[in-house]
A = this chain, B = another copy of it.
């Protein structure tokens, strides 16, 4: 049997493995203060008690004849879809229907699977640096051509750097699908409604699709920054939106997310007929999955109760205070950075002409702080470095102190 050459031949994604092995090597000789990990983008605050209790109660109810649930609806339970629709869209002035929202076990799952709806020759564009899922899922499907060690020949990279104010250029006309993630991972930067509108207009003009990843929308603290691409006029005709409870509600270990596919988003068939991507996704889900755990969906619905909302806002404020503590230290040291205002990521420019990995080693050796080398997210990430605001307060404070001790000029 022949295998899929695009998976067999996929270059290793060694970013976090390489980080781990460098940290491990360091720890073998290091005997001093503990290493502070500000690398991986995983939440650390416990699940709000209110949400955990609803989760647990649903699990217990499964042991009763009245409370038992078998296969969940493939597209998600209406009780959860209704809450998402009301809180995340209708109450914000965005009109959508219940059957335009699909529950899943993760935004990563959806962001990776959405490409199954595209023709095998669809041309793909993404920002550079980029969250790797958009790239890898299309590479595995054979859409990106050959990899030269830095770039896929068949993909369009949109550099997103200090030089263009972290506003990626528009893709060229021949691109079919543009992936955007805002608030952005890894740069932590955002786009205003006006800035985002340019991509929507480009997509409309070029019959292209935007896959919009809004996993970090809960970190936005300014009403002029869209939490949903559907705040932009016309987006309902050209955009799919992936959202997640992972970072919003600390669900990385619980696993729940949702994707919005408006019925007005259409693609062309071989027959030149227009096809609804909503219908195609429904068909795909029906054929390939059996939906999301019932108690997990109950937990996600609790996020929208008043007590759930208060609790998750507190957690987000906690992380953003970590970001403020880190940013204050960077300011004091004249280290340039971006993000960290509407996102849990701080994207700093490595000082002293360090490249990304050079700064990684230096920071590990001098400060015992682990971050993520920017170049790991794409070639335009070179010389940048990502710190996350997730983690305990005392770690953020200690990291800030170590940064000041090392980089602050006397």
Contact = CB atoms under 8 A, between A and B. Distances in A.
A3 B75 CA distance: 21
Interface stretch (A7-15, A80-88, A94-102, A164-172): A7-15
Nearest to A65: B46
B252 A290 contact: yes
Contacts of A277: 3
A293 B46 contact: no
Contacts of A3: 117-119, 267-269, 275, 277, 280
A112 B42 contact: no
A288 B5 contact: no
A141 to B, nearest CB: 8
B267 A2 contact: yes
A132 to B, nearest CB: 7
A2 B270 contact: yes
A293 B293 contact: yes
B118 A4 contact: yes
Interface string A159-185: 000000000000000001100000000
B59 A289 contact: no
A389 to B, nearest CB: 14
Contact of A294 (B46, B137, B209, B254): B254
A205 to B, nearest CB: 13
A113 interface: yes
Interface residues of A, number: 88
Interface in A233-260: 246, 250, 252-255
A1, A5, A176 pick with most chain B CB within 10 angstroms: A1
B253 A71 contact: yes
A96 to B, nearest CB: 21
A1 B269 contact: no
A122 B294 CA distance: 36
Interface string A110-146: 0011001111111000000000110011001010000
Interface of A: 1-5, 7-10, 13, 42-49, 51-53, 55-57, 59-60, 62-65, 67-72, 105-106, 108-109, 112-113, 116-122, 132-133, 136-137, 140, 142, 176-177, 207-209, 246, 250, 252-255, 267-271, 275, 277, 280, 283-284, 286-296, 299
A43 B287 CA distance: 19
A345 to B, nearest CB: 16
A67 B112 CA distance: 30
Contacts of A53: 60, 63
Given A270-B2, A284-B7, A290-B255, A52 B44 contact: no
Given A44-B68, A56-B60, A62-B52, A280 B207 contact: no
25 contacts: A1-B176, A1-B177, A2-B119, A2-B267, A2-B268, A2-B270, A3-B268, A4-B116, A4-B280, A13-B286, A46-B68, A47-B63, A52-B60, A52-B62, A56-B56, A59-B59, A68-B253, A72-B253, A105-B293, A106-B290, A132-B287, A254-B294, A255-B290, A255-B293, A295-B295
